[in-house]
Structure 1
Amino acid sequence: MSDNRFKIVFDGALLPGVESTTAKLNLAELFKCDVQAIERLFTGSTVALKRDLSSADADTYLLALKNAGVDARIEPEQPLTFSLDKTNETAPAAADFANPSASPYAPPRAAVGDHTAEFSTLKVFTTHGRIGRLRYLAWTLVMSVAMLVASGIISTASFAVATASPTAGTILGVLLGLALFVALVCVSVQIGVQRLHDLGWSGWLYLLNLVPLVNSIFPLLLLVLPGNTGANQYGPPPPRNSKAVKVLAALWLAFIPVILAIALALGMNGYFDQLEANLGNRYESSSITSDDAADQSANVDEEDVQSADDTAEPVDSPEQ
């Protein structure tokens, strides 16, 4: 007698806490097909994803589907029975998506259309999409250089206007500087959100940069933590890093220690200047105190001498 056979069926249910978009992207990656084809599995009807499986194979395939976030289940196959009664042959169910000889992760047999994109499209000025660590460094370097160039242009223009009208130059400098600051914040947020998406995190976590102490650690996490290797709820992975991205990221990594060294040197100079100023103030204070004490001592001596003179008795000289 042959062993019992099983099939894996799915009716569109998801595991608790799994979003529909995430499950569809995971299934698309698992089946290597377009997300639009996966949409047909979520119509609410029960479909057979795999048939004629042994118990061990069914458990293996079910575990893979559970990891993708879908609530599939195992059902026993109906045993074959022999009957002499006349039956009407029925066409195979359109919902059967696999056959025993196919790969366990084979896509549905229905037309699947175009394949999903292997990589996401890169766009700087958006909060959609994903970027990796090196591209995050490269884009940040380009943004910083552009900010410095724009700051120089604004300063030059404001100074030129200020030579003719100081008030107009000041107003122009403030307005252009404010616009540059707003643009810098917007681009920084867009780049940071895309980096968070690559980690599979919500872009709202970028607001942690506003929390004291946390804002000193959170940017380091964006530089250190690797992104998801495959597609996640925010889309396919970013394209592979080009040579330009690698060079810019290396320059930025080399530039960071220089900035830290300069900041440390400036901080030490300020500390030594403050220490020298404090020592000078203490020396002046001690000198003034010593002078006051000396003056007070001299005054006391003079008073003692005067008092002694006043109290001394006169001495008569002998007659000649």
Structure 2
Amino acid sequence: MAEHFKIVFEGQLRTGVELETARLNLAQLFKTDVSGVDRLFTGNPVTIKRSLTRDDAQRYLAALNDAGVEGRIEPEQPVTLSLDEVAENAPQRPAFDPTTSPYAPPRTPVAQDWPAVGELKVFSIQGRIGRLRYLAWSLALVGVAMLVAALCVGVLSVSLVAGGLLGTVAFVAFVVVSVQIGAQRLHDAGMSAWLLLLNLVPVVGSFFPIVMMAVPGSTGPNEYGPPPPSNTPRVKVLAVLWLVVLVLALVAGVMGGLESIQEEVEATTSAYEQALPYDDDASDTNDTEQPTVPVDPVDSGDSSDSNDDQ
């Protein structure tokens, strides 16, 4: 008879995983609502899956670990049982409270159940936005900033104080909104908004915005909330336009750099040619030297013969 195994779970969380995050992940794993997995966190041993081969048991255990909980594999006789067959009238034990265990990591209070998708809030550091919406919002922010900058220039022509004050307020507002949408983009990838400080680090800050635009978001809920709503056609169009603008700006920068290098090389070559020494004395000597006319031997012979005849 082939050996079979079962997966047993007692409500243990992996290190650094919040209880609410684990509940949401398990609900997505078992394709049920969040309240349906609360029975797993009573502190009692619960058999989640039975009659598994060793390889299948390892895969189920890896799926639980990815969801943020700890389980174990135990051998058993071949029996079929699913999560829905867990007895509701099982002997109740005191609920396991991780905060009372001296070996448990710190936990935060259990939050309310999150909706299927999150609410969009532009002027907030809470929530999540995907890559396309981040690009679309960035394009809109840059467009508004350009209009405000043109307004500041117009005010500066009238009053330096008013123009400078308006420009300062506009710059601060631009930075604040940039931080807010950047924080939501990092939250979507499951990262802390404090990573925005990497933009201030030399070298790293030059390519970190590219990372923010490229890193994918979490497929389901994470510790920062539920996934963002689906992208609308308008968001997709704005995102593509922003990518086109970025590519054109990159190409223009590269072409400008190549032209600067070419001008510098030409200037250096011209200066080097002008610094080369010339042999003026030799050229003057060659110009003033008179050429010698060779004597034709035939003409000399004819003259001597003429003299002899005389």
Q: TM-score, normalised by structure 1?
A: 0.64
Give the alignment partner of residue 120 of structure 2, picking from 103, 119, 122: 122
CA change 1:124–1:176 in 2 (3 A) is: same
Deviation at 1:268? 5.0
CA change 1:129–1:278 in 2 (3 A) is: same
Partner residue of 1:187?
177
Q: Secondary structure at the match of 2:154?
A: helix
CA deviations on 1:62-110 (whole Å, 9 max, x unpaired) are: 44323312122356789xxxxxxxxxxx9831769xxxxxxxxxxxxxx
Q: Secondary structure at the match of 2:190?
A: coil
Partner residue of 2:89?
92
Q: Does 1:258 align with 2:258?
A: no
Partner residue of 2:24?
25
C-alpha contact 1:65 1:72 (8 A) present in aligned 2: yes
Deviation at 1:242? 1.2
AA aligned opposite 1:93: A
Note the aligned Cα RMSD (angstroms).
3.9
CA change 1:270–1:15 in 2 (3 A) is: same
Partner residue of 1:85?
none
AA aligned opposite 1:211: V
Deviation at 1:142? 0.5
Question: 5+ unaligned residues in a row in structure 2: which ranges?
Answer: 78-86, 94-111, 279-310
Q: Secondary structure at the match of 1:179?
A: helix
Give the alignment partner of residue 193 of structure 2, picking from 161, 181, 203: 203
AA aligned opposite 1:263: G
AA aligned opposite 1:92: N
Deviation at 1:212? 1.1
Partner residue of 2:154?
156
AA aligned opposite 2:65: K
Deviation at 1:227? 2.1
Partner residue of 2:291?
none
C-alpha contact 1:33 1:115 (8 A) present in aligned 2: no
Q: Secondary structure at the match of 1:72?
A: strand
* Aligned residues between the structures: 251
Partner residue of 2:218?
228
After superposition, residues 42-121 of structure 1 pair within 5 angstroms as 42-43=41-42, 45-50=43-48, 53-56=50-53, 61-74=60-73, 92-93=89-90, 116-121=114-119
Q: Distance in 2 between matches of 1:272 and 1:61?
A: 62
Q: Distance in 1 between matches of 2:67 and 2:243?
A: 37
Q: Secondary structure at the match of 1:136?
A: helix
CA change 1:75–1:239 in 2 (3 A) is: same
CA deviations on 1:133-175 (whole Å, 9 max, x unpaired) are: 211111110110010011111221232x3xxxxxxx2222222
Identity fraction in percent? 47
Deviation at 1:280? 8.2
Q: Distance in 2 between matches of 1:260 and 1:50?
A: 54
Q: Distance in 2 between matches of 1:91 and 1:126?
A: 43
Q: Distance in 2 between matches of 1:277 and 1:172?
A: 44
